[in-house]
């Protein structure tokens, strides 16, 4: 009955969404307060219903109710409980349910915390959000119903895809979706503004916290996905330019651009049209990503749920929303007033520069992702546009952007002084140069670009701290005053510095691991040792082991430095019995920010095995950097500036109503 | 009924979320532009704060404030006259009526079309501990499987399962189960012979080299065991070694006894081999139609299989082949299916069909070197010697379920007996499980084994004499089942 109630709640949510997609928009059109207000109540209710529905599905997973097709296909009674729970969204139907749950969550959040929004804007935003929700609820109920039942109920499930049986998967997709789908709200804001035909600085102020929230989740989601792929797929790589990764990276790039342009719009009322377009494009890219992943047009590690028939449905949604919003944009953009004027060298100018590069980078990734698909569709040739393409195009494009980052916050609004800003960054420049020279001297054997990359990372990290330092006035003001000033700084300033610092950390990690990674593939007998970058690895034991729903070959490897045992690693190779599918569980040992990465290769015989070993210097900085970025975003979000209170009703009005 | 009550409650709550803002909500209205104004006022305060902290110069602050002020002025020009709209407008009335009528109807109608309100949840745990009497054969097997999987080193579980698998036609699973039995209990004549039999049934009656080895092991372990010798004699026939086969049959028949169940079938086999030996040109394989899915693995099964008329046997295999053929027409990408059907046609002597299927399969898999090789190997082998079939692992097919449903009452009882035995041994290990006792007493009663039921009941009463709750349950059951404890 729980299952059927969950199913009913899903249908009921659809019906209520249908109402919400009409009533508030109509209300805004004819200026009817009651109709406009209705969305603020239906949105949380829809979220509640979808939450019930999702919980019902989770319950079915946890109790191994194989009368549901979805559970039978993606679960196994012997799976540990955490994977039974994460199995709920480890498949197409369940993950789409999570998708709409998060769509509804954002609508509910706007309904509950959007008290500062003008009623008509709020009504339109929630109305547009309901349109998106409606189309995806229809998609679920018509093509991907997770509550479908089986007549002959089997006693055992087919198991969750083994590579998805991992803690990373338990958190990664919900995070990613929170980001992906979170940009639906900025999209809804943009479309609502276009419907109203009025966009101004206040609009940017209302949009920014939502964009920032979505951005934080998306950053965390992508980062977690990258770490998951790193340790679970056993290839030792942390980013593959896989189309699925790209499809989450594109909204991130344009979402980052959106964050920055919304800043200009709020402060200077400029870049309005551009910001609206970015808001539309960011969510369009999210939809495109969903289409690519869910339709099965791609063949990659992530396509664990694909079905071409569903693809056509999502394509229709895609065309409807992207086409519709762009058409609306074309129709209304002319009516929007251009905003403030600024000189090329100014804070605005720096942010435009940022936007130009980020959007070009987005376009590059888009081309690299779609070109092979289009080519295959037209000529039937299958080509793969891999890392070389992106390294040659995306990489160089990022360099000027990264160099420019520290300048941005130091330039004044409207008309900046590049010379003055450079002067203030002079010390940072010198220090970065020094780092570069040291890197050349100690790390490089022969010519390499890596020290330049390290220099840029140092420039980024120190440069982003420069603003804080300069604002504190230290040492002129003395320590106490400086601390006071620092703590008095708006949190957005801190947030900016943190996010930029985090970016520097990630760049440092990327440069280091790309340039100085070492690898060793050895065939080892039990008792034999091999060396890599100063670490001695000894194979102590090799043998089979049984897990709850898999069997595995394990190798016990002792890591020694100068004869002293520093760690013991147990890489394994698993066979999941239900699907007869092998996976490799790598073993990782962390030393500072660097990692030793072990993957078990072919087991030759009883006591001989192929071991792949990587030494990955400073690799964890890549992910720590993103964590710092997310903290920066969250810190910004807590700034009071982004929490404008709702206007108090005027006394006169209130009396008039009481009377 | 509970479902509809809860569904109604949900629907009412949903209606409330739209009814409240439309009918009840009273809120002082606010000028639309005051929201914008509050943003700009905030911005002005911010500029002041920045100025105070010395983060911007006075002239910059002046410029910024002027700009924000301009936005405030622009706002006044832009905002249209706001009208008092907090009345129950026609639009709101239309929406309310539509919602309250259509939402429940649409939701219920859509749900009824998609869902099934009668369906209960079926959590695995509950199904596992349900009353065995109420469960289907398939469910009972699954429970036994779960028990065996949870205690993979308990040989009893596998011993119960293996023959049941064979009876259900799940020969591949039976092979695994018998292998488990051998690995846990060690090799003995009975186990080896059973494994060989399972392999033979999985190979559609063809005695493969592997099966043969197991039969040989079985005869070595116990030369008196007739089952492996029977199969070995059949194997000799399949290998066209007619003289040796005739000898083997004759030795067996000579040893008697003539009343044994296998005696008559053996005579039949001997007669057929003699006939074949007279016409060596006939395809040797065709003569062997030891049927794969005829019956159980018990002592009686060989007799049953052999007692069937040759026509019946052939008809049955033909039916299975036809079934397989139509499956392949639907999904021609299944290489194992093709291999099996080619083999079956050859065994049935339908050489033309075998060749036709082979040609089709070759075209189907021309781009698949692995499959092509398998096909080629089979084609070569089919003229020379029986081939070891590709093994398929997997859950019960539709056919298996049908078989289970067609199981006779005897078979069903036999299976339950096996399970009861399993339960009994469990209870011997852990006698504190009241549910187990209740179940076994009930099972004995149902199976008509009154003596056992009474014995179990007496044991249980003693076990739980200090537990009034359990004693009461036992007593109630005893009354219901009409049994009485033995007075001690």
The pLDDT of residue A545 is 84
User: Both A35 and A133 in a single domain?
Assistant: yes
What's the mean pLDDT in B245-264?
A: 79
Whether A146 and A234 map to the same domain: the answer is no
Is the pLDDT score of A649 beyond 70? no
Q: B24 or A514, which is more confident? A: A514
Q: A142 and A61 in one domain?
A: yes
Which of B85, B120, B139 shows the shortest C-beta gap to A33?
B85
Say if residue A352 is in the same domain as residue A268.
yes
Domain that holds residue A557: 518-616
DSSP per residue, A42-86: HHHHHHHHHHHHHHHHHHHHHTT-TTBHHHHHH--TTS-HHHHHH
CA atoms within 13 A on the CB side of A7: 31
Of A223-237, B293-307, B385-399, the range with the highest mean pLDDT is A223-237
Q: How far is A432 from chain B (nearest CA, A)?
A: 27
Q: Please give the residue that has the higher pLDDT: either A649 or A315.
A: A315
Q: Write the DSSP string, A292-341.
A: HHHHT-S-STT-SS--HHHHHHHHHHHIIIIIHHHHHHHHHGGGSPP---
Q: Is the pLDDT of residue B323 over 80?
A: no
Whether A567 maps to a domain, the answer reads yes
Neighbours of A517 (CB within 10 A): 17
pLDDT digit string (tens) for A516-559? 888 888 888 888 888 888 889 998 888 888 877 788 888 899 99
Position A154 in a domain: yes
Whole-angstrom distance, CA of residue B450 vs CA of residue A209: 76
A152, A489, A647 ranked by CB distance to B38: nearest: A647
- Enumerate the H helices of A197-304 as residue ranges: 201-232, 243-268, 272-295
* pTM for this predicted structure: 0.71
The answer on A44 and A186 residing in a single domain is: no
Between helix B189-202 and helix B171-185 the angle, nearest 10°, is 160
Burial of A605 (0-12, 13-18, 19+ CB in 10 A): exposed
pLDDT band at A622 (very low <50, low <70, confident <90, very high): very high
Of A63, A268, A653, the CB nearest to B123: A63
The answer for residues whose C-beta is within 8 angstroms of residue B239's C-beta and 6 or more apart is: B284, B385, B386
| Same domain? A215 vs A126 | no
* Rounded average pLDDT over B162-185: 81
| Shortest Cα distance, chain B CAs vs residue A255, angstroms | 23
Does A635 fall in a domain?
no
Q: Whole-angstrom Cα distance, residue A62 to residue A84?
A: 5
Same domain, A349 and A456: no
What are the residues facing A590 on neighbouring strands?
A595
CB A266 within 8 A of CB A541: no
**What average pLDDT does the segment A14-42 reach?**
91
Hey, are the CB atoms on B38 and A580 less than 8 Å from each other? no
- CATH fold group of domain B312-395: 1.25.40
- Between B10 and B375, residue with greater pLDDT: B10
- Please, which residues have CB within 8 angstroms of residue A159's CB and are 6 or more apart in sequence? A74, A75, A76, A79, A549, A576, A577, A578, A579
Give Dmax (Cα) for chain A: 92
Strands A594-605 and A518-525: unpaired
Number of domains composing chain A: 4
Domain boundaries, chain B: 2-114, 312-395, 430-481
- pLDDT score of B209: 82
Q: Which residues contact A525 (CB under 8 A, 6 or more apart)?
A: A539, A607, A608
Cβ A20 vs Cβ B19: under 8 Å: no
CA B105/CA B101 separation, integer angstroms:
7
Q: What is the pLDDT of residue A357?
A: 93
The position carrying tokens 């095995």 is: A609
Q: Hey, which residues 571-610 in chain A have their CB within 8 Å of chain B?
A: 580
Nearest-Cα distance to chain A for B399, in Å, is 13
Distance CA A577, CA A453 (A): 46
- The pLDDT assigned to B397 comes to 37
* Most confident among A433-447, A589-603, B432-446 (mean pLDDT): A589-603
Q: Is residue A122 one of the residues assigned to a domain?
A: yes
> Is this prediction's ipTM beyond 0.90?
no
Chain B, window 82-141: residues with a beta carbon less than 8 angstroms from a chain A beta carbon: 82-86, 88-89, 91-92, 95, 98-99, 102-103, 106-107, 110-111, 114-117, 119-125, 127, 138-139
Burial tier of A468 (Cβ tally within 10 Å: 0-12, 13-18, 19+): buried
User: Please, which residues 344-403 of chain B have a Cβ atom closer than 8 Å to chain A?
Assistant: 393, 395-396, 401
Nearest by CB to residue A35, choosing from B3, B40, B95, is B95
pLDDT higher than 70, residue A650 = no
Q: Which of A387, A414, A441 is the last residue of a domain?
A: A414
**What is the Cα–Cα distance from A268 to A513, expressed in whole angstroms?**
41
Is there a single domain that holds both residue A525 and residue A474?
no
Q: Which of A3, A17, A34 to mutate to test the interface with B (most CBs of B within 10 A)?
A: A34
Using an 8 Å CB-CB cutoff, list chain B residues near A477. Answer: none
CA distance A451 to chain B (A): 36
Confidence of residue B29 (pLDDT cuts 50, 70, 90): low
Find the largest Cα–Cα distance for chain B.
122
Q: Compute how many other C-beta atoms are within 10 angstroms of the C-beta atom of residue B155.
A: 18
Whether A650 and B53 lie within 8 Å, measured CB to CB: no
Integer Cα distance of A659 and B421 in angstroms: 84
User: Do A292 and A175 sit in the same domain of this protein?
Assistant: yes
Q: CB–CB of A580 and B393 under 8 A?
A: yes
pLDDT of amino acid B486: 53
Are A52 and A128 part of one and the same domain? yes
Residue A638 is assigned to a structural domain of this protein: no
- Write down which residue in A165, A196, A224 finishes a domain: A165
Query: Which residue of B lies nearest to A41 if distances are taken between CA atoms?
Result: B17
A385 and A258 belong to one structural domain: yes
Percent of chain A with pLDDT over 70: 94
What confidence tens digit (pLDDT) does each residue in B94-142 have? 888 888 999 999 999 999 999 888 888 888 877 777 666 666 666 677 7
Q: Provide, as residue numbers in chain A, all residues whose Cβ is less than 8 Å from the Cβ of B393.
A: 580
- Single residue among A453, A486, A516 that ends a domain in this structure: A516
Q: Region A105-122: what's the mean pLDDT?
A: 90
Instruction: Flag whether residue B17 sits within 8 Å of chain A, measured between CB atoms.
Output: yes
Cβ-contact A502, A625 below 8 angstroms: yes
A81 and A7 in one domain? Answer: yes
pLDDT digits (tens, 9 = 90+) for A151-190: 777 777 777 777 777 777 778 888 888 888 999 999 999 9
């Amino acid at each position: 009955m729980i299952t059927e109630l969950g199913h009913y709640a899903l249908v009921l949510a659809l019906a209520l969404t249908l109402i919400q997609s009409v009533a508030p928009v109509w209300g805004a059109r004819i200026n009817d307060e009651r109709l406009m207000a209705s969305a603020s109540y239906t949105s949380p209710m829809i979220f509640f219903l979808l939450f019930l529905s999702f919980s019902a599905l989770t319950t079915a997973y946890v109790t191994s109710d194989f009368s549901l097709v979805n559970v039978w296909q993606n679960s196994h009674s012997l799976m540990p409980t955490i994977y039974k729970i994460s199995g709920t969204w480890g498949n197409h139907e369940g993950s789409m349910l999570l998708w709409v749950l998060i769509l509804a969550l954002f609508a509910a959040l706007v309904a509950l915390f959007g008290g500062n929004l003008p009623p008509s804007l709020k009504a339109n935003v929630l109305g547009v959000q309901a349109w998106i929700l409606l189309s995806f609820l229809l998609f679920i109920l018509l093509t991907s119903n997770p509550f479908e039942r089986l007549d002959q109920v089997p006693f055992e499930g087919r198991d969750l895809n083994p590579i998805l049986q991992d803690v990373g998967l338990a958190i990664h997709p919900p995070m990613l979706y929170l980001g992906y789908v979170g940009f639906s709200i900025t999209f809804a804001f943009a479309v609502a503004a276009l419907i109203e035909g009025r966009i101004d600085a206040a609009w940017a102020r209302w949009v920014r916290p939502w964009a920032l929230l979505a951005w934080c989740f998306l950053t965390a989601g992508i980062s977690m996905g990258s770490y998951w792929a790193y340790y679970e797929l056993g290839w030792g790589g942390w980013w593959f330019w896989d189309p699925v990764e790209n499809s989450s990276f594109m909204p991130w790039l344009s979402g980052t651009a959106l964050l920055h342009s919304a800043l200009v719009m709020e402060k200077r009322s400029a870049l309005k049209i551009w910001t609206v377009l970015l808001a539309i494009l960011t969510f369009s890219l999210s939809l495109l990503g969903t289409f690519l992943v869910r339709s099965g047009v791609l063949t990659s590690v992530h396509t664990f749920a694909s079905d071409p028939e569903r693809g056509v449905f999502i394509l229709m949604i895609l065309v409807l929303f992207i086409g519709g919003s762009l058409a609306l944009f074309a129709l209304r953009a002319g009516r929007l007033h251009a905003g403030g004027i600024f000189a090329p060298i100014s804070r605005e100018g720096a942010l435009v520069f940022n936007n130009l590069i980020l959007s070009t980078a987005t376009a590059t990734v888009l081309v690299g992702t779609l070109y092979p698909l289009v080519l295959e569709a037209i000529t039937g040739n299958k080509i793969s546009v891999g890392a070389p393409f992106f390294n040659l195009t995306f990489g160089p494009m990022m360099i000027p952007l990264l160099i420019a980052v520290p300048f941005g916050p130091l330039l004044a609004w409207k008309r900046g002084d590049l010379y003055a800003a450079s002067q203030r960054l002079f010390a940072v420049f010198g220090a970065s140069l020094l780092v570069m020279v040291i890197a050349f001297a100690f790390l490089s054997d022969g010519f390499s670009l890596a020290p330049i990359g390290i220099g840029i990372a140092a420039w980024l990290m120190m440069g982003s701290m420069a603003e804080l330092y300069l604002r504190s006035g230290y040492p002129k003001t003395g320590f106490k005053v400086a601390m006071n000033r620092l703590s008095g700084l708006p949190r957005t300033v801190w947030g900016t510095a943190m996010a930029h610092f985090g970016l520097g950390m990630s760049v440092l990690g990327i440069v280091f691991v790309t340039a100085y990674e070492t690898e060793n593939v050895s065939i080892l007998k039990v008792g034999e040792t091999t060396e890599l970058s100063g670490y001695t690895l000894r194979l102590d034991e090799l043998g089979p082991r049984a897990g709850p729903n898999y069997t595995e070959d394990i190798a016990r490897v002792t890591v020694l430095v100068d004869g002293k045992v520093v760690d013991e690693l147990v890489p394994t190779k698993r066979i999941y019995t239900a699907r007869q599918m092998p996976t490799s569980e790598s073993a990782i040992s962390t030393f500072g920010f660097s990692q030793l990465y072990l993957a078990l290769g072919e087991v030759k015989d009883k006591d001989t095995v192929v071991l792949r070993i990587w030494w990955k210097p400073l690799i964890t900085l890549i992910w720590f950097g993103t964590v710092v970025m997310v903290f920066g975003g969250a810190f910004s979000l807590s700034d009071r500036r982004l929490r404008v209170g709702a206007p108090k009703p005027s006394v006169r009005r209130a009396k008039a109503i009481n009377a | 009924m509970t479902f509809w009550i809860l569904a109604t409650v949900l629907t009412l709550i949903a209606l409330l979320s739209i009814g409240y803002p439309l009918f009840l909500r009273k809120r002082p209205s606010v000028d639309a532009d005051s929201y914008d104004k509050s943003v700009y006022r905030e911005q002005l305060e911010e500029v002041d704060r920045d100025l105070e902290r010395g983060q911007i110069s006075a002239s910059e602050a002046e410029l910024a404030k002027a700009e924000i002020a301009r936005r405030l002025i622009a706002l006044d020009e832009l905002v249209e006259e706001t009208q008092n709209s907090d009345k129950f407008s026609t639009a709101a009335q239309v929406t309310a009526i539509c919602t309250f009528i259509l939402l429940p109807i649409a939701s219920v109608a859509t749900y009824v079309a998609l869902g099934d309100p009668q369906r209960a949840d079926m959590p695995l745990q509950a199904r596992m501990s349900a009353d065995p009497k109420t469960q289907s054969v398939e469910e009972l097997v699954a429970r036994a499987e779960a028990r065996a999987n949870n205690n993979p080193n308990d040989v009893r579980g596998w011993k119960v399962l293996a023959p049941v698998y064979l009876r259900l036609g799940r020969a591949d699973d039976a092979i695994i189960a018998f292998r488990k039995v051998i690995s846990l209990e060690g090799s003995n004549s009975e186990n080896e012979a059973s494994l060989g039999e399972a392999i033979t049934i999985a190979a559609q009656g063809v005695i493969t080299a592997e099966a043969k080895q197991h039969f040989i092991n079985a005869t070595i372990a116990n030369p008196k065991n007739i089952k492996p010798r029977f199969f070995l004699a059949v194997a000799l026939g399949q290998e066209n070694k007619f003289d040796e086969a005739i000898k083997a049959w004759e030795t067996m028949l000579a040893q008697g006894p003539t009343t044994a169940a296998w005696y008559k079938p053996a005579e039949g086999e001997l007669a057929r081999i003699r006939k074949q030996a007279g016409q060596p040109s006939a395809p040797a394989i065709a003569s062997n139609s030891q049927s794969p899915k005829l019956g159980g693995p018990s002592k009686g099964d060989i007799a049953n299989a052999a007692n069937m008329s040759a026509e019946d046997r052939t008809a049955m295999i033909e039916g299975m082949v036809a079934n397989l053929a139509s499956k392949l027409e639907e999904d021609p990408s299944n290489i194992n299916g093709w291999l099996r059907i080619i083999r079956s046609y050859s065994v049935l002597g339908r050489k033309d069909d075998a060749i036709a299927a082979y040609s089709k399969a070759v075209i189907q898999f021309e781009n698949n070197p692995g499959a092509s090789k398998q096909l080629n190997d089979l084609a070569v082998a089919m003229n020379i010697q029986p081939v070891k079939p590709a093994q398929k692992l997997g859950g019960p097919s539709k056919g298996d379920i049908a078989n289970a449903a067609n199981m006779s009452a005897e078979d069903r009882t036999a299976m339950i007996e096996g399970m009861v035995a399993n339960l009994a041994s469990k209870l011997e290990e852990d006698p504190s499980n009241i549910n187990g006792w209740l179940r076994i007493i009930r099972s004995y009663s149902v199976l008509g084994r009154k003596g056992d039921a009474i014995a179990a009941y007496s044991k249980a009463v003693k076990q739980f004499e200090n537990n009034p709750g359990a004693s009461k349950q036992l007593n109630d059951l005893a009354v219901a089942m009409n049994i009485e404890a033995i007075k001690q």
